[in-house]
Amino acid sequence: MSSTIPRIIQLSQNVVDKIAAGEVVIRPVNAVKELVENSLDAGATEINVSIRAGGLELIKIQDNGHGINREELSIACCRFTTSKLREFEDLQKIQTFGFRGEALASISLVSNLIITSRTANEICASKACYREGKLIGQIERSAGLLGTTICVEKLFQNMPSRLAAFRQPNEEAHRIADILIRYSIHYPKISFSYRRLDGNGYDFRTSGDGDQHSTIKRLLHEKASNGLTNLEFNNSSLHFSAKICLATPVAIFTSKAVQTRNVYFVNGRSVESFRLQKSFDSIFTSRDLLCPFASFSLLIDPQRVDVNIHPTKKLVYFLCEDDIIEFIGKGEGSK
């Protein structure tokens, strides 16, 4: 064993950027989630997602949002460039999905990225290509509808060990379908479509007519969408309100073949909430029941929510979390 003491050095910016990108874009579904949230922030009412090879060969997301100005495309994939945050204090009241300015930068560092976008003030669209976080060539004029189309090609091509970990493209495709189903259910006024280009036709398409129950029935199996019931909760002292949509509970001893699905959103953001999940499950298991499907939508004063917890933003902290969960767990809502 060498007795040489390794020297402390400062990592190059390229290495730092790639490490950070690997934390934000862990697998294809993370790229899809970030790009869909960008579309939602852009006010899109139609979001179309196409993939190939589980998103490793291609992810294409097309929306009809407000678009990106031509002059902003040159810095669109630079780290910490954002239209959603100006001061650190703005995090205390952030209501957009994005805020760090890392999504496009991280994706472009681990793929070939092409952005085609047109705003309402522009006659034609503009097209820009990026590789390893840098603009390649010139921004070109292009045909394009109002909105933005982003193509992510050869994801993780420069991270062979990460790429080798994804041996089941179908599993990645299912993960992408799952997150899109979550957003489709939570945003029934937005039309979503999902298509695997190496499959047969569309996996699903929602109408965007605003009917959450019909959207759930379209996307989920019969038992998960049977007897849907809405509950509403409000508590001004805890600064929150909630809407919950539940399917008819079934007996645990007859539910072995039932696949359960719970969807959690806090201030419009898809999150994981193990504590809420545990509390919710205990309500039914104490009665030997199981709920096949539940959608939770919590609205909490943004100043009482910390979204800057995890690189993928899948976790949030909020004040009085125990009290809010207990309030919901007691079932003090109204139909």
Closest C-alpha to 195, from 34, 47, 313? 47
| Chain centre to alpha carbon of residue 96 | 12
Element at 279 (helix H, strand E)? helix 274-285
Q: What residues does each domain of the chain span?
A: 13-205, 220-329
* DSSP codes, 48-96: EEEEEGGGTSEEEEEE-S----GGGGGGTTSTT--SS-SSGGGGGG--S
* Predicted local confidence at residue 50, as pLDDT: 98
Domain 220-329 coded CATH 3.30.230.10 = yes
Fold of domain 13-205:
Heat Shock Protein 90 (3.30.565)
Distances (CA, A) of 30 to 51, 185, 261: 13, 19, 19
Measured in degrees and rounded to the nearest 5, phi and psi for residue 146 equal -60, 130
Tell which phi-psi region holds residue 80, choosing left (phi > 0), alpha (psi between -120 and 50) or beta. left
Q: Can you tell me the distance from the alpha carbon of 34 to that of 47, in angstroms, rounded to the nearest whole number?
A: 13
Nearest-CA neighbor of 50 among 62, 65, 60, 40?
A: 60
Tell me the CA distances in angstroms from 37 to 84, 104, 146, 154, 291, one per residue in order: 13, 12, 18, 21, 28
pLDDT for the residue 99: 45
**Contact, 228 vs 247, CB < 8 A?**
yes
56-66 exposure pattern, b = at least 16 Cβ within 10 A, e = fewer: bbbbbbbbbbb
Q: Among 36-45, 103-112, 241-250, name the most confident range.
A: 36-45
pLDDT tens profile 128-156: 999 887 899 999 999 889 999 999 999 99
pLDDT of residue 303: 83
The model's pLDDT over 85-107, given as tens digits with 9 standing for 90+, comes to: 445 454 555 555 644 567 888 89
At 313 the pLDDT is 62
Backbone angles phi, psi at 298, to 5 degrees: -105, 130
Report whether 101 contacts 80 (CB < 8 A).
yes
- What does the pLDDT read at residue 309? 62
Neighbours of 267 (CB within 10 A): 19
Window from 84-88, 123-127, 204-208, 223-227 with minimum mean pLDDT? 84-88
The residue behind tokens 């929306």 is 63
| Whether 151 contacts 242, CB under 8 Å | no
Q: At residue 64, does pLDDT exceed 50?
A: yes
Phi, psi of 171 (to 5 degrees): -65, -40
Query: What is the rounded average pLDDT of the residues 195-206?
Result: 88
Whole-angstrom distance, CA of residue 77 vs CA of residue 303? 29
pLDDT for residue 279: 80
